[in-house]
Amino acid sequence: MLLSLTDVRRTFGGLHAVDGVGFQVDTGEVHGLIGPNGAGKTTLLNLVSGLIRPTGGAISLEGRRIERLPSHRIAALGITRTYQNIRLFPALSAAENVLVGSHLRRVDPLWKRMIFVPGYRREEADALQWALSLLARVGMEDRAAERASSLSYGEQRRVEIARALASGPRVLLLDEPTAGMNPSEVASIAALIKEVARSGQSVLLVEHNVKLVMDVCDRITVLNFGKVIADGTPGEVAGDRAVIAAYLGGE
C-alpha cells in the first residue's frame, strides 16, 4: 500500500474537522475524496501534505510514518499538491513557475549554481526541457513564455498541476483542480488525471464535480462532518444511502 491513513484526527478548539478518518491509496490509483462543504476534505489534504499536523492517528507512505514530518520533507519523499486558490508566481512565466517545482529533482549543490560551473549549465538546460515537457503534458506548451498573470484561470490551473508534477511525485494531491473551468477544460483535466495514474503515480483528488470523480476515480471516500460515511468503488458510493442523504439532505 502506497499511502495509508489510520484513525486520523484534527481538532480546532472544540471543532472535530477530521474525526477518525482512515483509507488507503494504491500505486497508480485515482482515489476521490468528496463530501459537502465543510466536510473536512481540504483539512485532510493539509494533514497529508504536512501543512498542519494531526491531533491523532497515523499517516504512512510505504509504511513510513510521515504525520510528524515538516511539509518540505514530505514533498521530498514524494507527495506534492495543488491548492484551491491558485498559488503561482504572477510575474514569472509558465515555464519558470514549473521550474520552481522541479527543485527537488536537482542534484547540483548551491555553490555550483553560484559560480556557474559547466555542469550547472547542463542541468539548467535539462531542467528547462523537463519543465517544457510537463507544460506539453498539460496542453500549455504554446504558452510557456507567457507570464502567469496573463493566463486565463483554467490555464493557470494547468500550470499549477504541471508544477506539482515537476518533482516527479509518487502521490499527487489535487484540491479542486477543475474549479472555474468550462466543460471542455474539465474533460482535458480528466484525461490528464487518468494519464498520470497510467504512468504509475497515484492521485488523491478532492473535487466538487461529482461526475468527474465518478468518471476518473478507482475508489472514493466520502466525508461528512469530518467522518467517513462511505468508501468504495464509484458504483458502490453512488448508491449509498448515507451519501445521498449527505448531498441531498434526505433519503
pLDDT tens-digit map of 112-150: 555 555 666 677 788 899 999 999 999 999 999 999 999
pLDDT at res. 3: 98
Chain-centroid distance of CA 199 in Å reads 16
In order, the DSSP letters of 16-57 are: EEEEEEEEEE-TT-EEEEE-STTSSHHHHHHHHTTSS--SEE
Q: How much of the chain, in percent, has pLDDT values that exceed 90? A: 77
Where would I find the H helices in 81-137?
Answer: 94-101, 110-115, 118-137
pLDDT of residue 209: 93
Q: How far apart are the two ends of the chain, measured CA to CA in Å?
A: 35
Query: Does the pLDDT of residue 82 top 90, yes or no?
Result: yes
> What mean pLDDT is predicted for residues 36-65?
96
pLDDT at 123: 76
Q: Average of pLDDT values for 75-104?
A: 91
The confidence band for 106, taking pLDDT boundaries of 50, 70 and 90, is: low
Which of 77, 85, 78, 5 has the alpha carbon at shortest distance from 47?
A: 5
Better pLDDT: 85 or 70: 70
pLDDT tier for residue 225 given thresholds of 50, 70 and 90: very high
Average pLDDT over residues 214-221: 97
Does residue 111 surpass a pLDDT of 70?
no
Q: What is the mean pLDDT of residues 213-218?
A: 97
Q: What SS3 state is found at 223?
A: strand
* Residue 250: band (very low, low, confident or very high) from pLDDT cuts 50, 70, 90: low
User: Are the C-beta atoms of 97 and 159 separated by less than 8 Å?
Assistant: yes
**Coil, helix or strand at residue 226:** coil
Strand-pair partners of 227: 224
Under the banding of pLDDT at 50, 70 and 90, the label for residue 179 is confident
Domain boundaries 1-78+170-251, corresponding CATH code: 3.40.50.300
Nearest residue to 160 (alpha-carbon basis) of 89, 212, 107: 89
pLDDT digits (tens, 9 = 90+) for 234-249: 999 999 999 988 876 6
Round to whole Å and give the CA distance between 33 and 42. Answer: 9
Domain residue spans of the chain: 1-78+170-251, 89-168
Q: What is the pLDDT of residue 85?
A: 87
Per-residue pLDDT at 109 exceeds 70: no
Percent of the chain whose pLDDT exceeds 70: 91
The pLDDT of 165-182, averaged and rounded, is 93
